[in-house]
Amino acid sequence: MGSLGLKPIDTKTTIELSKMGMTNGQKNSTVVVVEEEQKKQVQLEPASPATRLFHTKSLSCHIIAILGCTTKINVDLIKKGLESTLLNHPRFTSIPVVDEKKGVRKWKQTTVNVGNHMVCPDLDPDMDSPDEFVENYTSSLTTIPMDMTKPLWEVHILNVKTSEAEATGILKLHHSIGDGMSIISLILACTRKASDPEALPTIPTGSKKESSDEAGFCRRFCFSVWVLSMVFWNTFVDAILFLATILFLKDTETPIKGGAGVEHNPKRLVHRTISLDDMKIVKNALNLTINDVVMGIAQAGISRYLNRRYGNKKGRGSSKTNNLPKNIRLRGSIVFNIRPSAGIKVLAEMMEKKSKAKWGNKIGYVLTPLPISLPDNPLDYIHQAKAIIDKKKLSLESRFSFAAAKLTQDIFGSNVAAKLTNRVLSHTTILLSNVVGPQEEITFFGHKLAYAAPTICGLPHALIMHFQSYCNKMTISMSVDPLVIPDPYQLCDDFEDSLQMFKNAVIKEGAAAV
């Protein structure tokens, strides 16, 4: 993708920055000046329905994005970059307030002190166990509430070398600022290709199948009727199951299901990077999508992990023996962005020109079964996952869940709607999402990224999984409750082993076919 007519992000230290007296480990006390016109007239913008939900006790959660860099992080450059990009977005210069007259929550524009949003601790570069330190640091952020008197975001910079990166940057923000897809898109809009500082990263898009003109009108009409019928039927079934989940339908109490109040427990943030190229080998061999492979990996990895946990309870730790109880009901809440993303080009132009773009929280949930078993053919995991996903594609469940939450909120208020949403999520076992990332290496304000691991905390799950692709890698980022899952790296091993198992199986099938 060539130049998009955007100005390259300035990543050169200027004389003005040196006069600020900033050094690594010190906070910048410089206040970003708000234009006089904005000072005179305080802007109040109504909060969206989803924003009001995320400010209730039942559904208060945060997004944490961990970015590994291939070089040490220059604090001055990051601060300058934030001033020229994120601070031009109204959500990053606003605080949530309640209108005293109407009792309605709104966003209020305020003056931003960049230094108050950055934490740059002085660290010993030769410390023992730097990987463990970074993991402990990022995990500790899940227990620290955000200061509601300033815009709800902060950046942490850890200039210590780990096994994966030379330094680590952490962006933490309140979920009321925006949905996960919008936040990831906004972060990507702040990046540029490592090979071209003027070009935004290339994000793969799904290719739509073109309808053949050779097909007759009658055939196309019958196909359309069949699709509409399937959408109606699948949506009806999913809506019934969704309502049943609100009332009584719960997942089986497995060793990975969190109990009451799990959303308030400290979380462990871990991740594992696997080969996206290996996933593409499986995808192409079986004529699937990456989403199908992702769900297959999740299903296989969790099955293997649960089998071991049940085996340990019975005194049989072998993963080769089937220790799984029969008829386990385990579902994943998959998050969908109802409103199409504005796109990173639009967001980049918005921050450069201070224009407007679609923004906010407009998300729905799809309750997706994850069959737990140990089939003889490992590819059965993927075939099962594909059948379920294909059925979910012909359903409006995500829009139904969004509409149900909004209707409840309009009638009974945000607190009731939040408790209802919390109840639905707590009756499932895990939360899943898959976000497509750049195809090439990118820089974040002049710092080349080694990996990106976004996650979320504050929801009623002991296991939250996010799949994030970047170049030829796929990072599985997890937020786990250590009281429920004390060995998260074993679960990471099971996911990685599952992909290798799939790859070996398709290679074996291919060799057998020849």
Percent of the chain scored above 90 by pLDDT?
58
Residue 450 lies in a domain: no
Residues 226 and 107 in one domain: no
What length does the chain have?
514
pLDDT tens digit string along 227-261?
Answer: 999 999 999 999 999 999 999 999 999 999 999 99
pLDDT grade, residue 317 (50/70/90)? low
Q: Domain check: are 149 and 260 in the same one?
A: no
**Predicted confidence band of residue 346 (pLDDT cuts 50, 70, 90):** low
For residue 121, being part of any structural domain is answered with yes
Which domain CATH number covers 90?
Answer: 3.30.559.10
Does residue 296 lie within any of the structural domains? yes
| 38 within a domain of the structure (yes/no) | no
Q: Which residue has the higher pLDDT, 141 or 104?
A: 141
For the chain, the domain total comes to 2
Q: Are residues 384 and 430 located together in one domain of the fold?
A: yes
CA 358 to chain centre: 19
Q: Is residue 514 pLDDT above 60, yes or no? A: no
Closest residue by Cα to residue 490 from 319, 307, 305: 305
Query: Is residue 140 in a domain?
Result: yes
pLDDT at 19: 35
pLDDT in tens, 391-448: 999 999 999 999 999 899 999 999 999 999 999 999 999 999 998 888 899 999 999 9
Least confident of 269-278, 308-317, 321-330: 308-317
What one-letter code names the amino acid at 334? I
- Report the DSSP beta bridge partners of residue 107: 45, 96
Distances, alpha carbon 136 to alpha carbons 175, 294, 462, in Å: 22, 27, 18
| Residue 465's CATH number | 3.30.559.30
Q: Is 175 a catalytic residue?
A: yes
The residue annotated as part of the active site, out of 175, 271, 447, 466, is 175
Report d(CA 185, CA 474) in Å as an integer: 17
Across 7-11, 143-147, 464-468, the highest mean pLDDT is recorded for 464-468
pLDDT value of position 462: 96
Please identify, among 193, 210, 238, the residue that sits at the C-terminal boundary of a domain. Answer: 193
State which residues form the domain around 291: 219-443+455-513
Q: Is residue 29 part of a domain?
A: no
pLDDT of residue 29: 35
Do residues 306 and 342 both lie within one domain?
yes
User: Do residues 103 and 227 both lie within one domain?
Assistant: no
The CA distance from 182 to 63, in Å, is: 11
Q: Which two tokens stand for residue 498?
A: 């599952």
Residue 489 has pLDDT above 60, yes or no: yes
Domain stop point among 193, 211, 245: 193
Name the token pair of 505. 């199986």
Angle separating helix axes 397-412 and 414-426, nearest 10 degrees: 140
pLDDT for 70-124, tens place per residue?
Answer: 999 999 999 998 988 888 888 899 998 887 777 788 899 998 888 889 999 999 9
Query: What does the pLDDT average to over 55-74?
Result: 93
Q: CA–CA separation, 415 vs 159, rounded Å?
A: 41
- CB contact set of 33 (below 8 Å; sequence gap of 6+): none
169 with 230, same domain: the answer is no
For the cut 80, the answer to whether the pLDDT of residue 204 exceeds it is no
What is the structure's pLDDT at 281? 95
List Cα–Cα distances, 326 to 304, 323, 330, 373, 379, in angstroms. Answer: 15, 9, 12, 9, 20
| Distance (Å, whole) CA 459 – CA 263 | 5
Could you tell me if residue 30 is inside a domain? no
Examine the domain organization and report whether 154 and 251 are in the same domain: no
The model's confidence at residue 139, banded by pLDDT at 50, 70 and 90, is very high
Q: Is residue 20 part of a domain?
A: no
pLDDT at 5 over 80: no
Q: Do residue 290 and residue 381 come from a single domain? A: yes
> How far is Cα 155 from Cα 119, in angstroms, rounded to an integer?
6
The pLDDT tens digits for 152-198 are 999 999 999 999 999 999 999 999 888 777 788 888 888 889 998 88
Rounded Cα distance between 473 and 278, Å, is 9
Q: Final residue of a domain: which of 177, 193, 209?
A: 193
Q: 3-state secondary structure string, 186-233?
A: HHHHCEEECCECCCCCCCCCCCCCCCCCCCCHHHHHHHHHHHHHHHHH
List the beta bridge partners of residue 210: none
pLDDT at 2: 41
Euclidean distance between the first and final Cα of the chain, in Å? 39
Cα pseudo-dihedral 79, 80, 82, 86, rounded to 10:
160
Q: Are residues 501 and 374 in the same domain?
A: yes
83/94 Cα distance (integer angstroms): 14
Residues 165 and 224 both lie in one domain: no
Residues 143 and 259 in one domain: no
Taking the C-alpha atoms of residue 297 and residue 274, their distance in angstroms, rounded to an integer, is 11
Mean pLDDT of the chain: 84
Q: Are residues 62 and 160 in the same domain?
A: yes
